[in-house]
Structure 1
C-alpha cells in the first residue's frame, strides 16, 4: 500500500520534521504559483509570457510564506493528525503572506506580474497545502482501520437493528476500537439506506447467508425497545452464526441511567429467556412505602440490596439497613448513597439471631415495614456441616425478627421465601418452609402486624446462581458442568423479584403466602448450550459435563405443595397460596428447643428432628 513506504519515510524524517515541512510547503507554493499563471493565462501563454524577474519574485513569495508559517508554528504540526484548527492556521498564513507579497510587488512597481496572479495565488496555495495534509491523514486512518480489522483484537461488527439505538451506537462505538461494517433490519423502509455512512444491507434473515458474515468478528444486537419475541428471534438467528454476540443495554438500563447506548455488554440470561417485564401497580406500592420507615434484614445480599434500590424509588422517609456482613453493608450503602443521595440511611451491623439487637434497632428507628431477606440459601453448603446453622439463621432468625416486629407494632412483615420450601428435599428448603410456618404462627397471634411471605424461584445473577458459574467456566474454555441432563428450574431477574415482593406486600393480608408466576421452567442444560453458542463457541470447543445431582437437589422445583391450592390476585404475576392445616400446639416450643440444642447439630440428628417439625420434608 502507498501508506507503508510513506509512513516509513515520515518516521525517518521526524527529527528534521520542521525543515522538511517548510520545504514541502515551499514546493506546494511553487506549484500553486505556476497553477495560478496557468489559470490566468492559459496553456499556450502561461510559461512564455512572464517577466524575466518572475523567478526572483517567486523566491521572495516563498520566503514570505515560510516566514509567516514559521511565526504561526505551522511546521510543528503533524500531517497525519491534521485538524480543522490546523487548516484555520494555514488560512491565516496564506492570507497574511499573500497580502504581504502583493504589497511588496506593487510597491516595487513590478507591473508585469499579473494582478490576478497576486490575488489568486493565496487561494491556490491554501487548497494545495490543505489537500496535501488531508491526503496524508486519510491514508494514515485508512491504514489504521485495515490493520485493526486484520488483527485478532480487531472488532468488526454487524449491527442487528437500524433504529435510533443503532445510530447512537455507531456514533460512540467506533472510538472504542470497533468497526461497524453494516446493519440488518427487518423494516423494509430502512433497507438500502445508510446510517452515519454505514449501509443497511437487508433483513435479519440475511444472517443465514455466509457471505454476509465475511470479515465480521462480532454481532451487536441494537434493539433495546423491541418486544421480547423480536429480540428472541434475533438472538436465535445470531446464535446460529457461531459468532460472539453482544448487545446494547436494555431499555430499562438506559432509562434508569445504569449504562450508555455505546457500552455494549455480553448477552445475559434474561435476554435469552425473553420474559415480559413486570408491570407494577405503582400507585399501590407508593401508598405502601412513601413517607414510611422501612427496615430490610440481609440488606447487603442479592435480593436485599435490590429491594433497597426498588424501595428507595418510592420515597420512604428512611431506610434501615440491617446486615451481618460489614463489607456487604458498605457496598449497599455506597450504591444507595450514589443513586439516592437525599435518602436518609441507617446502617446497622447485626445478626438476626440476636433478639436484643433487633429490639434495639426497632425501638430506636420505629420501622413501619420490615422485609426479612436475611437467609442462608446455598443448598449444598447447608446440607451437612452447616445444617444446624441454617436452621438457626433461616428459621430461628425469622422467629426473632417477627417477634421484635410484633412487639414494636410494625405494620407489615414480609418474609422472602423460596420454591425450595415446597415439598423440600434439602435442609435449606426445610428451614425456609419452617420459616413460613413461623410466619403463620405469628399471623395467628392477633397482633397489629400483618405477616406474609413471598415465594419465588432462582434469581438470575444472585449470589450462588448457576449463571455466573456458567459464564466463568465459558471464559476459562470449559467444560461447563451441569448436574443432570433433565434438571429444570424457574428463573427470574433480581429487579423482577424485588418488584413483585413489593407488589405482594401492598396486596397481602396477614397469614398469606404469595407465589410468583415464574413463567415456564427452563432446562439448565439448554440454558448452558445457549450461553455457549452466544459466546461464539460450539459444544465441541466447550463441552457440557454432567456431574450428577448433589445431595438434597431435585430434578425440578415446585412452587406449590401437592395439597395446596391457589387463588388469583389483582396482579397477574402473583397467586395466593392457600396452605392447609394448623400448627400443633407445641410446634414453636419444639422448634425453639431444636434451635438451641447443640447436640442436634450432627446432620443425621438435625434432619430427623427437622422432619418432625416439617412433615413434608423428605431428605434425599
Structure 2
C-alpha cells in the first residue's frame, strides 16, 4: 500500500527513474545483439563516454515528452505516441554519439536502442499497472459490478470505473449472441443467464445498465427483472451526462428520461438546421438549464454566431468554458455578453453590435415559491424584460423572436405563472405592431433535470437516506426532458409564422408521487412500507403558495392545430386587446418603480381575471385524448 499512498509527484519521480534505467538497459541489449555478450563490456570500456552521452540525451527526451506524467491507467494512442517520440530522439542521440566517436556500423545500434526502449518502456508500464491494480484489489473491498451493454457506452463506463475505490467491473452482459464469449476492454462478455448465476453466487452485487439506445419499456423491464434477483440496479448516464459529471462516484444514477412513462419524443426535423444555419442567434438566459441546452443544440445546427446573454457572471463563465472548445471545433463564433434583459440600452446595444437575426428568450425567474415572495423582481425580469427584448428585436428587424413560456401561464394561480402569462400577452401584442419580426411562444411542462426541478431535489434527498418530500399525493404535472424542451424551442423558431403558441404533446400528466417512487427504485432503493427503516420514506409536506394540483398547456384543447410535426401542436388563442396590454404594463411598471408588491399583484389581477383563484373542478388538463387536431 506504500506505493498506492505516494503523492503524485513522488510517483512521477519513480517513473522518471524507471525510464532512466531503461535507457542504458536498451543500449546495453542493442550492443550485445551487435557485438555479442562477451564483447559488450569491452565495447563500453573502449568508448567510456558513449553510454553517459546517450543516457543524458535520453533523460532530456523523457522530460521533454513528459513521459513520467503519463498516468499508468491512461496508456492510449497519444501516450504511446509520446513514448515513440522519446524513443526516436534516443535513437537519434545514439546515432549522433556513434558518429562523433567514430564507432563503426553507426546506425544499427541506434535503431535497435530506440526500438528496444519503446518496447520495454511500454512493457514496464503495463507490468507496473497490473501490479498496482493487484495491490489495489488486495487492499480495497470493492463491489463487483456487471455492465449491461457491451457497446460504446458500456466501454466508456468500464474505463471510468477502473480506478474507482468503490466498485470494480467484472464483466459485460449483452443480449447479442455474436458478442457473447468475446473479450471487450479486458472484460468477458456474457449472457443474461450467466449474469443470473453470478448474482446468485454473490460474484456480482450491482448491475449498471448502459444501453442508451433502449427505450423506456426495455430499461424498466431490465430493472424489474434484476431487482427480483435481489441485486442493486442503476441506470448509467448518457454520454452528455457522463461528460458533465465530475466522477463516476458522483454520476447521476438515473437519467431524466428514465423517469418518464413514455419514450422520448423524436423532434428531429430538417427544417431546424435550415432555420439556424449560418445565422446569428442570441440566447437570453444562456447560462440556465434551457438556455445552455439551446446553445449546445445550436452548435449542431451550424449557426454562424451564438450570442450568450446572461445576467449571472458565474453562469456565463461556466457555459462559455463548456462550449468554447466545441464552438471552435464546429467553426461557430461564440460571443458572451453580460447584462439584464430589463436594461433597454444594454439589450439594444448587444442586438445591434452583434447583428442578431434570431432571438431565443429563455431568461426568466421560474421558481414558484421564490417568485411568490419576490413579486417586484419577478415582474421586472419576466414581464418588463420580455417587453424590452421584444421591442429591441422589432426595432432591429430581427427575423424571429421565440419566448420560452410555461404551462403555469394558463389560468395562473402563482405570481410566476401570472408574470409569464403577461409576457405572452406582450409578445401577442408586439406581433400586431411588427411586420418584419415573427413572434412566437413555446409552453413547457416541467423540465426534468433543470435547476430547481424535482429530479435533482429527489436525488439529493435519496442520497442522504430520505425522506423524499411530496407536496400533495394528487399533484400532477406534464414532464419533458431538457433536450426535448430545447428542441421544441428550435422547432418553434423554424415553424413560426407569427403570433404562434406551440406546445408539445407529452401524453397524460404524471403524478409526482409516481416519479418519486420510480426514482427510488431506479437508484437501487426500496420505498418504505412500514417494515424496513433503511428504506426510503415518502413524506407529504403540503402544497406551497401558488401551486395547483394539475397544470394545463392550453386554455381550450379543442382549438389545437396540427403542425408539420405530429407531436408539436399550435394553440389558437384570442389576442388581448392592445388597450388592455398597454394599461396593464403601465400599472405594472408604476408598481415596480414604487417597489410595491401589493400593487404588482393588483396589476396582475387587473390584467388576468381569475388570477390567484383555484382551478375550477370542470377544467380538464390538456392531454392527447382531449386534443382536437385539424
Instruction: Check 1:89–1:485 CA distance in 2 against 1; reply closer, same or farther (3 A cut).
Output: farther
The residue number in structure 2 matching 1:535 is 523
- 1:528 deviation in Å? 1.9
Find the partner of 1:359 among 341, 348, 366: 348
Alignment of 1:593-604 (within 5 A): 593-598=587-592, 602-604=596-598
User: Aligned-pair distance for 1:86?
Assistant: 13
Choose the corresponding residue for 1:339, options 306, 316, 326: 326
Q: Following TM superposition, by how much is the alpha carbon of 1:416 offset from its aligned partner in structure 2, in angstroms?
A: 0.5
The aligned counterpart of 1:615 is 609
Asked if 1:302 is matched to 2:289, the reply is yes
- Structure 1 residue 379: deviation in Å? 0.3
Aligned twin of 2:550: 556
CA distance in 2, matches of 1:570, 1:528: 35
Q: Structure 1 93/218 Cα, relative in aligned 2: closer, same or farther at 3 Å?
A: farther
Deviation at 1:579, TM superposition (A): 0.4
Q: 1:349 to 1:194 in 2, by over 3 A?
A: closer
Q: Distance in 2 between matches of 1:355 and 1:423?
A: 30
CA distance in 1, matches of 2:434, 2:30: 89
Query: Could you tell me how far apart the structure 2 residues matched to 1:545 and 1:534 are?
Result: 19
Please tell me whether the aligned partners of residues 591 and 597 of structure 2 are also in contact (alpha carbons under 8 angstroms).
Answer: no
Match of 1:72 in 2: none
Structure 1 residues 162 and 100, CA gap change in structure 2 (3 angstroms): same
2:257 corresponds to: 270
Taking structure 1 as the reference length, what is the TM-score of the superposition?
Answer: 0.71
Using a 3 Å threshold, how does the CA distance of structure 1 residues 86 and 175 change in structure 2: closer, same or farther?
A: farther
The 1:240–1:435 alpha-carbon spacing in structure 2 relative to 1, beyond 3 Å, is farther
Alpha-carbon spacing, 1:442–1:137, altered in 2? closer, same or farther (3 Å): closer
Cα deviation for residue 514 of structure 1 reads 0.4
Of residues 360, 365, 368 in structure 2, which corresponds to 1:376?
365
- For residues 266-317 of structure 1, the C-alpha deviation after alignment (integer angstroms, 9 at most, x for no partner) is 2223233365445445532222222222122222222112212222322323
Instruction: Tell me which moved more, 412-421 or 316-325.
Output: 316-325
Rounded to whole Å, the distance in 2 between the matches of 1:452 and 1:359 is: 20
Secondary structure of the corresponding residue to residue 340 of structure 1 = helix
Q: Which moved more, 1:272-281 or 1:305-314?
A: 272-281
Which residue of 421, 426, 432 corresponds with 2:414? 426
- What's 1:387 paired with? 375
Structure 2, unmatched stretches of 5+, are 3-16, 40-123, 528-532, 615-630
Q: Secondary structure at the match of 1:585?
A: helix
* 8 Å Cα contact 2:283-2:359 kept in structure 1: yes
- Corresponding residue of 1:415: 403
Mapped to 2, the partners of 1:550 and 1:391 lie a distance apart of: 20
**1:464–1:185 CA distance, 2 compared to 1 (3 A):** same
Task: Provide, for residues 82-108 of structure 1, a one-character-per-residue CA deviation record: whole Å limited to 9, x for no partner.
Answer: xx999999999999999659xxxxxxx
1:163, 1:333 → 2: CA distance? Answer: 31
In structure 2, relative to structure 1, the CA distance for the partners of 1:474 and 1:561 (3 Å cut) is same
Scaled by the length of structure 2, the TM-score of the pair is 0.70
The equivalent of 2:204 in structure 1 is: 216
Task: Say whether the 8 Å CA contact 1:425–1:553 is kept in structure 2.
Answer: yes
Unaligned runs of at least 5 residues, structure 1: 1-6, 9-76, 79-83, 102-132
User: In structure 2, what is the equivalent of residue 313 of structure 1?
Assistant: 300
Instruction: Give the 3-state SS of the residue equivalent to 2:480 in structure 1.
Output: strand
Asked whether the equivalents of residues 305 and 332 of structure 1 are also in contact (C-alpha less than 8 Å), the reply is yes
| Higher alpha-carbon Rg | 1
Counterpart check, 1:147 vs 2:142 = no
Aligned CA distance change for structure 1 residues 236 and 572 (closer, same or farther; 3 Å) = farther
* SS of 2:207 mapped into structure 1: strand
**Counterpart residue number, 2:339:** 350
The answer to whether structure 1 residue 573 and structure 2 residue 561 are counterparts is: no
Q: Contact 1:239 / 1:534 at 8 angstroms: preserved in 2?
A: no
- For the 8 Å contact 2:144–2:170, the answer to whether it is kept is yes
Q: How many pairs were matched up?
A: 508
| CA distance, structure 2, for counterparts of residue 189 and residue 291 of structure 1 | 44
Encode CA deviations 1:486-508: one digit per residue, 9 max, x unaligned: 21222222222111111111011
**Counterpart Cα distance in 2 of 1:547 and 1:325:** 32
1:108-127 maps to which residues of 2 (within 5 A)? none
Task: Indicate the residue corresponding to 2:270 in structure 1.
Answer: 283
1:611/1:464 Cα in 2 relative to 1: closer, same or farther (>3 Å)?
same
RMSD after superposition: 4.1
